[in-house]
A and B are shown apart, each in its own frame.
Chain A
Amino acid sequence: MPTQEAVRPRRGELRVYEPHRAGLPKFGPYFSDLRHRLPFAAEFSRSGIRAAHTQTVFGQLWLVLNPLLMALVYYLLVAIISNSGGGVDRLAHIVCGLFVFQLVAGGLQQGATSVTGGGRLIMNMAFPRLLMPLAAVRTAFFRFLPTVPVFLVIKAFTDEPWGWQMVLSVVFLLMLTVFSFGLAAIMATLQVYFRDTSSFLPFFTRIWLYLSPVLWTIDDLGGHGQRFAHLMLVGNPLFSLIGGWTQLALLNEVPEPKVWLAGAAWALIAAVAGSLLFMSREREFAVRL
């Protein structure tokens, strides 16, 4: 996206394309153009979801079946094979964390290919490229939504309490979405320069899954739990984000302030760093594709 003095000129308004000094475009026009074209990102994502569904037999149902089957596989792995005890409580915990983890992982994977996959669009049209990872995250989010009722149904079979605190989990969901947008922007940029990024991603996300409180709980860790938790709070964004989400949505407990703080900080850092990295490189994308 070249420097533009006027991004949406009315008839006869002047726009100027000049060589860009390595760096960021002007924020004002950039974000006003971004806001103006948000419907495109929405439509791009929506039509992408629709297109994907017409090609599978189960269609919409697959959106629910896929994460559910994956949850059952992990449940099998954790509760039955490792014999750590389980029952429906364990399943609910896995489902609660895994579904939302899939939101992050999906955003990452889709975001990584969003720019390289949109080759023609990028080569032939001028628009704020940040719309591409935005659309990818929107896609991941709308793939996540149908799994919420599934989680609630499974939770209904447990003894976990229901209450107003569960509503607060929306805040963590929001933070998770913002966080995955930041990561999607970073991955999209990396993918342009290194086309094998998206091939490494599944391994990376798998390890991240094991490091996050999805398949295990702090209680599972026993004595070392507290020290480990402190380490994870600082080092692993998904520890606070998914931990807080699970506490609210499943256990109906309000997390400690430090969990809120860590989650919000990680979301903010990821979104700002990701956007800045992406925006500083995006004018090169057309040359690199």
Chain B
Amino acid sequence: MDTQGAARRTDAQAAADNPAVAAPDAPGAEPQAATDSSAVVEAPAADAPAADGSAVSGEGAVSDEGGAAQAATPQPGDEPPADAPVEDAPAPETAPAAAVTKPRIERTYPVDPDAPPAVSVQDLTITYRTTFEKVPTIKSAIVRLGRGERAVREVHALQGLTFDVMEGTALGIIGANGAGKSTLMRALAGVLPPTSGRIEVRGEISSLLSLGVGFNGALSGRENVMLGGLAQGLTRAQVAERAEEIAEFAELGDFMDLPLRTYSAGMAQRLAFAVSVHMEPDILLIDEALSAGDARFKNKAAAKMDELMSSARAMFLVSHSLASIRELCNDAIWIHEGRLMMRGTPQACGDAYTRFLEVGENAFTLEDL
């Protein structure tokens, strides 16, 4: 990313130095940025806050402090500064949003608009009945019985959620901690039974719900891949077929045959992600899975998800990073305390959510893609 950023900065600088070259250069760079997801991922994130400051500062399209952020999206801010720097301010804001809401991914098969929804959630309510004790034991049960207590507390994780997800949708799920995002994902995966309501799922689900699913620290990466694949319901032959691809994608090299406990957090997550996306799922569930990989792998992961979306029916992405939701999804829901607050474009949901939180769209919410 850094090298790409630097490369583009020199482009931009060259453009600023020589306005005559700028015009032909900009359109030439545009498709590259679109295909290279690395640029796309970072661009809208860095763009919004930086745009006001540096674009307004006029001819300083390549001003020093805004340089790195600006460089990623040189085109929108680059061409106009010569004539109208001030009016230009809103332009970068709408530009990335438009790029995202448009179906960015070309599908390999046409989506039938009359097809039934890939996932249909109907008045879904999930209530946990948990005990007070962290660890339920016979001893505490006997003590409780003696006192005539009942140690059950109800947690209303989801309350009356209803929405349909059509084929070809990449749905971002936004919400504060404890909103019920992970509960919803687990219900979609079939792990948690609904307390009331109904979920209909059409297709094979591959879930990446938390780090290191089914992974045993004492076993090598390769053995863990086999375990993860079998747990997903593949046959041994099918997993063996994919194992090399997975190893290559996760870029583990020799670590593939070392015990998992020797891996760094990022390596384990890369492996988990690689396993999940190579299961050829119809429906992919990803829960905060992209937080530990380095920038390069994130870009690669984003590209892989694009590729998956071209053939998968639907994708669900839970993330606290509004930038990655905006980048990877074409639809979004915002849930709060188990209720559906909003359904809309990722941009609209993200804006409403941030307004709701009364936190400006600052670097903190955008940073951790």
B219 contacts A121, CB within 8 Å? no
Tell me which residues from 155 to 176 in chain A have a Cβ below 8 Å from any Cβ of chain B: none
A16 contacts B200, CB within 8 Å? yes
Task: Please tell me if A73 contacts chain B, counting CB pairs below 8 Å.
Answer: no
A287 contacts B199, CB within 8 Å? no
Q: Could you say which residues of chain A place their CB within 8 Å of the CB of B129?
A: 287
Q: Could you say which residues of chain A place their CB within 8 Å of the CB of B360?
A: none
**Stretch from B3-11, B185-193, B342-350 forming part of the interface with A:** B185-193
**Stretch from B55-63, B73-81, B135-143, B263-271 forming part of the interface with A:** B135-143
Q: How far is the CA of A52 from the CA of B218 in the complex (A)?
A: 8
1/0 per residue, CB under 8 A from A, across B207-230: the answer is 101101111101100010011001
Chain A interface residue count, Cβ-Cβ cutoff 8 angstroms: 47
Task: Please tell me if B32 contacts chain A, counting CB pairs below 8 Å.
Answer: no
Tell me which residues from 134 to 171 in chain B have a Cβ below 8 Å from any Cβ of chain A: 135-139, 141
Task: Please tell me if A196 contacts chain B, counting CB pairs below 8 Å.
Answer: yes
Q: Could you say which residues of chain B place their CB within 8 Å of the CB of A13?
A: 202-203
Q: Could you say which residues of chain A place their CB within 8 Å of the CB of B255?
A: none
A55 contacts B198, CB within 8 Å? no
Q: Chain B contact residues (Cβ within 8 angstroms of A): what range? A: 35 or more
Contact of A2 among B130, B194, B236, B313 (CB under 8 A): B194
Contact of B193 among A2, A44, A127 (CB under 8 A): A2
Contact of A194 among B141, B197, B223, B233 (CB under 8 A): B141
Contact of B189 among A54, A121, A125, A195 (CB under 8 A): A125
Q: How far is the CA of A20 from the CA of B195 in the complex (A)?
A: 8
Known: A14-B200, A54-B218, A197-B138. A287 touches B192 (CB 8 A): yes
Task: Please tell me if B232 contacts chain A, counting CB pairs below 8 Å.
Answer: yes
A17 contacts B216, CB within 8 Å? no
Q: How far is the CA of A13 from the CA of B236 in the complex (A)?
A: 23
**Stretch from A33-41, A252-260, A263-271 forming part of the interface with B:** A33-41
A194 contacts B209, CB within 8 Å? no
B90 to A: closest C-beta gap in Å: 43
Contact of A127 among B192, B209, B233, B313 (CB under 8 A): B233
Residues of A within 8 A of B (CB): 1-4, 8-9, 11-20, 36-37, 39-40, 43-44, 47-48, 50-52, 54-55, 120-127, 193-197, 200, 283, 286-288
Residues of B within 8 A of A (CB): 128-130, 135-139, 141, 186-187, 189-205, 207, 209-210, 212-216, 218-219, 223, 226-227, 230-233, 235-236, 259, 282, 313
Could you list some 8 contacts between A and B, CB below 8 A?
Answer: A2-B193, A11-B203, A36-B233, A47-B226, A48-B216, A51-B219, A124-B207, A127-B231
Given A2-B190, A127-B233, list of 9 further CB < 8 A pairs?
A16-B200, A18-B194, A47-B227, A125-B207, A126-B189, A194-B137, A194-B141, A196-B138, A286-B192
